[in-house]
C-alpha cells in the first residue's frame, strides 16, 4: 500500500522549474484566507442553514422566484466587496505571468482569481464575474464589479432582484445552479490531461465532477490543503497539510520570485 508523501517548498520549486505545463485546481480553502467562509465549513451556508441551499441554488426555484437567491446574493456581496485576493491567488497570477502556470481551474464562485490578475481561469461552477438576462439573453459586462452588484440590488425596482435594463427580465449571474451543467469541463479536462504538474489547492475533492480531475493527471499531483482529501495516495501524488499562503510564500522565495503586493 502506498503511503502518503509530503513535499517541502524547495522540492516543489524544482518540480515547477522542471515542468513543461503546470495547472492549479482550487477550492474554497484558497478563499477562506480572504474572509469567505467555506460553504461546507463550520460557518458555511450548508451548516448554518441561514439559507436553504437546495432552494437558493435551485435553477427551477430561481426561474419561478429569484428573491431567495438575491437575498443570499445581497449578503454575499456585502461580505465579499471589500475583500482582497489572498497571497495564493496573487501567487498563481504571478506564476502565470512568468510563464510557469498554464491556467487555473476553480470551484469557487467569488471571482477572486480574476481580481488577482489571472488570465486563464476555468470556473467550473461559474461565478459572479458574468451575468445574463434570462429573457433577452443580453450579457451584463458591468457585473464584474461587486460594487455594481451592490448598487444594482439596492436600486432595482424589484429589489433585491436585479432586472435587465433592456427588457426588465431577471438577470442571472454566471453561477452554476443545481440542475445546470458545470461550465467548461472539457477545457478543464484538457488542461489537466496536458499538464505534467497539477496543484490541488484548498479543496477536499468532495464535490463532483471537479473531484475527478486529479484522477486524469498523468504527471505529478501536489495537494496543499488543511485536513483530509478524497484522493488516494499514489507514487506521483504528494500531500501537504499546511497553510496555503505560507506554503506559497516559501515556494515563491525558492523560485526567486517577489512576493506579490
Cα–Cα distance for residue pair 11/96, rounded to 1 Å: 20
113, 115, 125, 218: the active-site residue: 125
Kindly list the distances between the CA atom of residue 230 and the CA atoms of 88, 122, 134, 199, 241, in Å, as whole numbers in the listed order: 22, 22, 36, 15, 13
Contact at 8 Å (CB) between 200 and 227?
no
The sign of the torsion formed by the CA atoms of 192, 196, 199, 204 equals positive
Could you confirm whether 125 is annotated as catalytic? yes
Contact at 8 Å (CB) between 16 and 7?
no
- Which residues are part of the catalytic machinery? 125
Amino acid at each position: 500500500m502506498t503511503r502518503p508523501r509530503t513535499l517541502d517548498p524547495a522540492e516543489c520549486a524544482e518540480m515547477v522549474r522542471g515542468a513543461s505545463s503546470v495547472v492549479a485546481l482550487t477550492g474554497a480553502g484558497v478563499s477562506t484566507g480572504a474572509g469567505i467562509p467555506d460553504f461546507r465549513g463550520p460557518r458555511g451556508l450548508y451548516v448554518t442553514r441561514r439559507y436553504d441551499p437546495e432552494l437558493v441554488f435551485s435553477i427551477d426555484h430561481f426561474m419561478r422566484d429569484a428573491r431567495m437567491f438575491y437575498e443570499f446574493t445581497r449578503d454575499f456581496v456585502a461580505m465579499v466587496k471589500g475583500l482582497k485576493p489572498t497571497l495564493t491567488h496573487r501567487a498563481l497570477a504571478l506564476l502565470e505571468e512568468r510563464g510557469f502556470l498554464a491556467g487555473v481551474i476553480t470551484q469557487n464562485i467569488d471571482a477572486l482569481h480574476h481580481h488577482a490578475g489571472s488570465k486563464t481561469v476555468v470556473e467550473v461552477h461559474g461565478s459572479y464575474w458574468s451575468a445574463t438576462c434570462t429573457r433577452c439573453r443580453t450579457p451584463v459586462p458591468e457585473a464584474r464589479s461587486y460594487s455594481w452588484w451592490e448598487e444594482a440590488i439596492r436600486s432595482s425596482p424589484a429589489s433585491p432582484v436585479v432586472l435587465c435594463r433592456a427588457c426588465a427580465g431577471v438577470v442571472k449571474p454566471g453561477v452554476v445552479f443545481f440542475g445546470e451543467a458545470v461550465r467548461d469541463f472539457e477545457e478543464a479536462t484538457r488542461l489537466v490531461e496536458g499538464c505534467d504538474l497539477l496543484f490541488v489547492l484548498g479543496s477536499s475533492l468532495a464535490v463532483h465532477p471537479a473531484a475527478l480531475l486529479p484522477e486524469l493527471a498523468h504527471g505529478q499531483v501536489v495537494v496543499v490543503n488543511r485536513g483530509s482529501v478524497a484522493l488516494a495516495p499514489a507514487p506521483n501524488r504528494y500531500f501537504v497539510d499546511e497553510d496555503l499562503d505560507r506554503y506559497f510564500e516559501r515556494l515563491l522565495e525558492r523560485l526567486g520570485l517577489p512576493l506579490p503586493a
